[in-house]
Structure 1
Amino acid sequence: MADEQTGVGQAYDAVAELYATMFTGELASRDDELALIGELIAAPPVAVGKLPVGDLGCGPGEATALLGGLGIRAFGLDLSAGMLAQASRLRPAETFVRGSLLALPFADASLGAILARYSLIHLPPAELPYAFAELRRVLAPGGRLLLGFFAADPTLGDTDRPVPFDHKVTTAHRWPVDALAALLPAARLTETARTVRLPGPGERYPQATLLAEARS
C-alpha cells in the first residue's frame, strides 16, 4: 500500500470504535443515496450476471449489510484493520477484506458494481486518476460505480479545484462535482447521474454523488 494510504488506515484504526458508534443508522435516512444504490445494483452484471458488489471503503460495514439485505452478493473492503474489526463484530454475517483502492485484490472484470462512499476523499488529487483506473479494471463492462464525496462550497471561495480540509480523522478534500466527473472518461467510465445537496445537521459542506457506468 502507498504510504499515504497506510497512514489513512492507521488514522481510522485510532477512531474505529467511536466512528462505528457515531454513524450507526446514518445511511438509512439518505433517500437520495438509497435511490442511487437501487440504480447501482440494477446494473446488468449484478442483476443478470450475479456478479458481486464491492463496498470499497466500507468502514464499519453499514452499507455492506444494506447491500446484502437487498439479496445480492456483497462484501466490504477497507484499509483500516480497526474498522474491519468493528465491521466483523457488528455484522458477522457479511464478508470483509483488507485492501487499498490503489491496488485492489480482485481479478479484472470480477465485480458487477462498486459503492465507494466517502472512500476517495483522502487520496491526494493527483492519485484520483490511478484510483479510477483501478476501479474500472475490476468492474465488468456495464458495471456501475457510485461515488459519495464532499462537494466544493462556493460560499467558502471554492472554485474549480479540489480543496483540502481538516477532516476529523485525517486530511480530506472537497471536490467540485464537474472536476471529479471530468476524471471519469479517461478510465472508460461514463457519468449517468449525480446529486448535490446542501449540508444537513452536523455537516460542514455540501454532499454529492456521482453514478457512472463502465464502458467496454
Structure 2
Amino acid sequence: MIGQDALSFTREAYDAVAAEYARRFVDPLRDEPLERGLLSAFAEVSRTSGSGRVADLGCGPGHITAYLEGLGLAVSGVDASPAMVELAREAYPGLRFEVGSMAALDFGDGELGGALSRWSIIHTPPGELPVILAEFNRVLAPGGYLLLGLWAGDDPSGPTQVFDHAVAPAYRWSPDHLAALLRTAGLAEVARMVSEPQPADRRQFQSVHLLARKAREGDAGSSS
C-alpha cells in the first residue's frame, strides 16, 4: 500500500482547496490543443482495446472526466479527496465518481480498456510509484492503454526532482526513467509527447505525456 502519511497529507491538502481549484481550472484544456488531440487519440485506442470502460485516476473536480465522456467513452473518476469527489458529483451528476487510492483501485483485474492519470502521480513518493504502476497494470485489460501526464525533470538520467507545489509535495520525473518503470510494471511505451513551457507559465517545466499499452497474448515478446 502507498504510505498513508503521504496519502493522508495530499488528501487533506486538496480537500482544503477543492472549491478554489475547481473554479480556477474549470476549463483546463482551453489553451491545450495538443493535449486535446492526444486525449482524442487515447479515446480512440481505448475503445478498440477490448473493454468499454475507462477511468480518470486522480480526477479532481471531474472536468477531464466529463471531457472524456464527450469523446464517447464510458468513463468514471477516482480521487483521494472526498471534497473533490463531492464537487465532481455535483457538477456532473450523470457520471460516476468514487473516493479511492490509486494504489488500491476498486476495479477488477483487467476491467478497464483505458486509464488516465493526468498530473496525479506527481504527489507519489518515488519509492511508492512502482506500487501504483503495478496497480494500473492490474486493472487494465490486455491491450489496454495508460496515459500519464506529468512535469519532466531536468536531468535525463535522474529519476525524480522535488519541486515546490502550491498544494502538496510533488515530484518531476525523467521521462526515460518513468518509461523504464512502466516496462517493469508490464506496460510498454507507445508514444511520448514533450511540450516546452510557454513564457506565461508559472512553472518553466517541460510537460510530458506518456502513452503505454499492456501486452496481450500473441504480442511479440509476450508470454503465452
User: Is this a same-fold pair by TM over 0.5?
Assistant: yes
Alignment partner of 1:186 is 2:187: no
**Counterpart Cα distance in 1 of 2:38 and 2:150:** 14
Give me the whole-angstrom Cα distance separating, in 2, the residues matched to 1:110 and 1:173. Answer: 29
**Counterpart in the other structure of 1:211:** 211
Equivalent residue number for residue 194 of structure 2? 196
Deviation at 1:48, TM superposition (A): 6.4
Report the alpha carbon displacement of residue 28 of structure 1 after superposing the two structures with TM.
Answer: 3.2
2:166 aligned partner = 168
**Corresponding residue SS for 2:171:** strand
Identity of counterpart residues, as a percentage?
A: 43
| Corresponding residue number in structure 2 for 1:27 | 29
Using the size of structure 2 for normalisation, the TM-score is 0.89
Alignment map for 1:111-150 (pairs within 5 Å): 111-150=112-151
Shift of 1:209: 0.6
Structure 2 counterpart SS, 1:82: helix
Q: What is the CA deviation profile of residues 163-197 of structure 1, one whole-angstrom value per residue up to 9, with x for unaligned ones?
A: 11110000000111111111111111010111111
Secondary structure of the residue aligned to 2:77 is: strand
Q: Determine helix, strand or coil for the equivalent of 2:72.
A: coil
Does structure 2 retain, via aligned residues, the 8 Å contact 1:75–1:94?
yes
Query: How far off is 1:199 after superposition?
Result: 1.6
1:139 deviates by 0.1
**Cross-structure match for 2:222:** none
Deviation at 1:159, TM superposition (A): 5.2
Deviations 1:87-106 (A, max 9, x none): 11222221101110111111
State the aligned residue count.
212
Range with greater deviation from structure 2 (194-203 or 112-121) = 194-203
1:8-19 counterparts in 2 under 5 A?
8-19=10-21
Q: CA deviation at 1:153?
A: 2.8
Counterpart of 1:181, as a letter, is: A
After TM superposition, the structure 1 = structure 2 runs for residues 46-65 of structure 1, keeping only pairs within 5 Å, are 46-47=47-48, 49-65=50-66
Moved more, 26-35 or 83-92: 26-35
Distance 1:48 1:191 in 2: 15
CA distances 1:43-97 after superposition (whole Å, capped 9, x unpaired): 36x3363521100000011110011112220011000001111111222221101
- Report the counterpart of residue 109 of structure 1 in structure 2: 110
TM-score (norm 1): 0.93
SS at 2:65 equivalent: helix
Q: In 2, Cα distance between the equivalents of 1:186 and 1:161?
A: 14
Amino acid across the alignment from 1:135 = F
Instruction: Tell me if the contact between 2:49 and 2:143 (Cα under 8 Å) persists in the aligned partners.
Output: no
When the two chains are superposed, the root-mean-square deviation of aligned CA atoms in Å is 1.6
Shift in alpha-carbon separation, 1:92–1:173, aligned structure 2, 3 A = same
2:175 corresponds to 1:177: yes
Counterpart code for 1:203: R
Unaligned runs of 5+ in 1: none
Residue in 1 that maps onto 2:44: 42
Give the distance between the partners of 2:209 and 2:81, measured in 1 at CA. 23
Query: 1:107-163, CA deviations, whole angstroms, 9 ceiling, x for partnerless residues?
Result: 100011001000100000111111110000000000000000011135xxx852301
